[in-house]
Every structure is written in C-alpha cells, then in structure tokens.
Structure 1
Amino acid sequence: MTDSALNDGGAAAGDPRAAELAGRLEAVRRRISSAAAAAGRTDRLPTLIVVTKFHPAEDIRRLAALGVTDVGENRDQEAAGKAGILADCGLTWHFVGQLQTKKAKSVVRYASAVHSVDRPQLVDALAKAMQNERAATGRAPLDCFIQVNLEDQAGDAGAHRGGAAPEDVLLLADRIAAADGLRLAGVMAVAPLGAPPEPAFAKLAVVSSQLVAQHPGASAISAGMSQDLEAAIAFGATHLRIGSDILGSRPAVG
C-alpha cells in the first residue's frame, strides 16, 4: 500500500496491518496505564515514543492515524528519509541511537530531541549545527537527553550499552545548558542486558535527582522499552521508547 493510499490514516476497512497495529498499540497503552496506576502516577502518563527503526513509512502513517504523535529512530539516513516522506503527519521525531558528530547537521533538520548525548564533542557539534539551522529556519531549540551508562564498570564490556558515566553527567549538563539552541531535557538510559532492570532504573532516578538539583528544568527521564516499561515507570520515567511490542519483529531484509 502506498503513502497516498494511506492519507486517510490507514484505518480503512481491508487494511489488516492497520488493525494489527491498533491492537498492539492499545495493549501497550493499557500496560502503561496499569503501571502508572500501580506507581500512583495517574495525573500524567509518560510520553510514548514509538521506535520505528527498520519499519516502513506506511506503518508510521498508520500509527499517526491511531493517535501516535512521537516516533523514534536510531539511524540518521533512515530517519531523514522518513521525516521527509511523512512531513504532513505532524509527528515529533526523536533520535534515540548513538550519534556521530558528523551527523549532527542532518539530525537537527528533522529531530525535536536527541536522547543519546553522551560526550562534550557531540554537544559542541549539535550546538554548531543548531546555530546554523536556527539562522536558516528559526526552528525551536533541540531537546537534549544525556545518555547515562548504568552498567557495572567491572562487568562484561561486550554488553556495553553506551552513555556517559554517572559522575560526568553534571559537566555535560552544564555544557548543554550553556549552548545556544540546545535545551537540557534530562537523562536517558537503557537497562543493562542480562540483569533485572529495577536496580539500574533506581540508579538513573538518583542521577536524575542530582541533575534536577542543579538544573531544575531538566526533569525528564527517558527510560523503558518493550520488556521493562513497568519498571521504568515505577522509577519515574517520563518518556518510554517502545518498538517491537507495537510494530512486531523488524521486516526481513532483501
């Protein structure tokens, strides 16, 4: 099915993929509501970011018709292409993967937020790119989440998820806060592989509280994926990055 055939949102009768996505999305939304209620967080639910990497633009258009407003991608070339195709959907794009400094100029053209800021060089590259982009288009500031490495430094280096060491977060935060065109949003993390997520998310909550003490506006916590969203919500996640439980397995290549 082409994008033009999906201008009505892909919810037309006879579109089994739209029905599948609707069911999966509703199931995840129920999980979020239940976890928030269990944590006593019924006043404001976390923002759901549907991670759409490797899935076609047609699926994202279907999701937009189902009320999804925020989507996440982790590869610039793929994200830039989709953002261009889907410009009429009014989506907010989040870059959630490891980001090379040379890609900063491209990412700021479509992304409202980068969730993987983990080193001073990337802060500087994003600031420079934003200076040029704002001069050309007047776009809003870029939300920056500091990715925090929650792994045991003595653990298996092969399972490394990336991110800044917790003790480096405040220095990075100061650098972001001082940069024109960047807005310090908060922290982001991925729970370590092969371990219960609760201790990691508890550690992230402590890092977040330390950050907020120095930068009161940086209270966002981007944490939680398909397998651990309940634990993330229990420890204060404000943004969830959910992919496979909504979109299913990534499409076959070739």
Structure 2
Amino acid sequence: MTDRRTELADNLARVEERISKACSAAGRPREDVTLIVVTKTYPASDVRLLAGLGVRHVAENKDQEAAPKAAECADLPLTWHFVGQLQTNKVRSVASYADFVHSVDRARLVTALSAAAVKAGRTLDCLIQVALDAESGERGERGGVAPDGVTELADALAAAEGVRPAGLMTVAPLVGTYAGRPGAAFGRLMEISTGLRAAHPAANMVSAGMSADLDDAVAAGATHVRVGSAVLGVRPRLG
C-alpha cells in the first residue's frame, strides 16, 4: 500500500506540474482550474489514498461501480462527479451520491434527474454535455447534445426543481471538424459557454480535457479537467 501511495503521489505531482505550467502559459492563476481524478476501474482503496494526498474531486462513469465505491468512501471529504452517459433507469441511484452530473444531453434526463433529486432531498449541479462533432454532421459514440440544443437544455434545468445548470462538458471529438484538434474543440466550447453564461450567469463551469489533452483545455479556459490514467495508471484493456 505504501508503494501504491508513493506511485499515486508521484503521478499527482506530475499532473499538478502540467496544470500549473499550462495555467502559467495561459496567464491564469492555478486556482482557476480544478482537478477531477477519474477513478473508474480502480478500487475504493485508491480513492482513500487519493483523499489522503489532498484530492477532493473524484469522478466515475458507471453507476454500478460508482454507487458502492461512493458508499464505501462516504466518510471522506470528497465531491463526486458522474461523467458517463446516463440512462434514466440509473438516475435515482446517481442522484443519491453524485454532486455533479457532467453528461446531461436530453430533456428526458433533466426530468428524471429533477424527480430523483427532489425525492432524495438534494440539489444536483448539472453540466450539459456538448457533442461538438455534431456541427460537422458527424456523431460519435460519446453522447452529448448538438451546440444548438444547449440553450433549451439549460432553460429546462433552470426551470426544474432539484437541479441547476452549472456549465458545459465535452470530450474532444474523434471525428468531424475537430478530430485531432483538441485546442480548437475546447476553444469552440468556450464560445458556447460565453453564450450560455449570458442567459445563466451561474453556469460557469467548463469541464474539458483529460490525461492526453488537459494542457489544451487549460489554454482554452477550462475550469475543470478530468484526469484518470495520468494519475492512476493505464487501465487494463477489457475483453
């Protein structure tokens, strides 16, 4: 366990250095960017070690893994982010532990999250997942709403009980105009964010960038980066 703690500490230090350098290059204070560590496929014991190393934001993308892990770590001072595609039949469970949901992409999900949050007596901060590849007529497999659907979803979140629009999330597209151009993709997300904040000033989160492209995301103006393998190690291939 000591070796694993040292490994995680060293990885965190390297990621921290990347974020700090990217912030400095962009003329941004380091505190502008929040690191979310994506702990999917890794055990609750790693979450405990990360918490001991000062990590306060962790993310999962599958409820069947996230729910028991969040319960096991309920005593820790953590903020939980759900970042995966979310089916409505998982909403009640997710609403019981997630503080932020990054993957809102349809009106039906807004309705389901609202009902579940009210029943749980909680308020969920919701990010709208934007599918930037939709602008070039492509649709990847990562979910999200086309940019022209963001305003409608934000209005629905603002009008519903138990949820509120907190900002935007995207994953750099693998197809279409922005394929291989994460900097351009994240720049476009910032443009959409500016429009969103005009109508919903509190929706100022921009969740973008992962292990491979967090530097581009920080340069573009992201407020949150979601980093998994750079902290926890390369995940084994399944199947």
2:222 aligned residue: 237
1:227 paired to 2:209: no
**1:183–1:154 CA distance, 2 compared to 1 (3 A):** closer
Give the aligned residue type for 2:62.
R
Query: Deviation digits for residues 10-43 of structure 1, max 9, x if unmatched?
Result: 6xxxx11110000000100010011011111116
Give the aligned residue type for 1:233.
V
Q: Which runs of 5+ in 1 are unaligned?
A: 1-9
CA drift at 1:89: 1.2
Structure 1: 4+ residue segments shifted above 4 A = 152-157, 251-254
Describe the SS at the equivalent of 1:88: coil
Are the counterparts in 1 of residues 209 and 226 from structure 2 also a CA contact under 8 Å? yes
Aligned residues: 235
Are the counterparts in 1 of residues 23 and 30 from structure 2 also a CA contact under 8 Å? no
1:54 aligned residue: 41
Are the counterparts in 2 of residues 33 and 45 from structure 1 also a CA contact under 8 Å? no
Instruction: State the identity as a percent.
Output: 55
Are the counterparts in 2 of residues 32 and 45 from structure 1 also a CA contact under 8 Å? no
CA–CA separation in structure 1 for the residues paired with 2:56 and 2:102: 17
Give the aligned residue type for 1:215.
H
1:142 aligned residue: 124
CA–CA separation in structure 2 for the residues paired with 1:154 and 1:212: 24
2:187 aligned residue: 202
Q: TM-score, normalised by structure 1?
A: 0.89
Rg comparison, structure with higher value: 1
Are the counterparts in 2 of residues 117 and 146 from structure 1 also a CA contact under 8 Å? yes
Describe the SS at the equivalent of 2:133: coil
1:21 paired to 2:46: no
CA–CA separation in structure 1 for the residues paired with 2:87 and 2:217: 27
CA–CA separation in structure 1 for the residues paired with 2:197 and 2:203: 6
1:72 aligned residue: 59
1:7 aligned residue: none
CA–CA separation in structure 2 for the residues paired with 1:224 and 1:48: 10
1:3 aligned residue: none
2:141 aligned residue: 160
Are the counterparts in 2 of residues 222 and 237 from structure 1 also a CA contact under 8 Å? yes
Describe the SS at the equivalent of 2:218: helix
Are the counterparts in 2 of residues 123 and 176 from structure 1 also a CA contact under 8 Å? yes
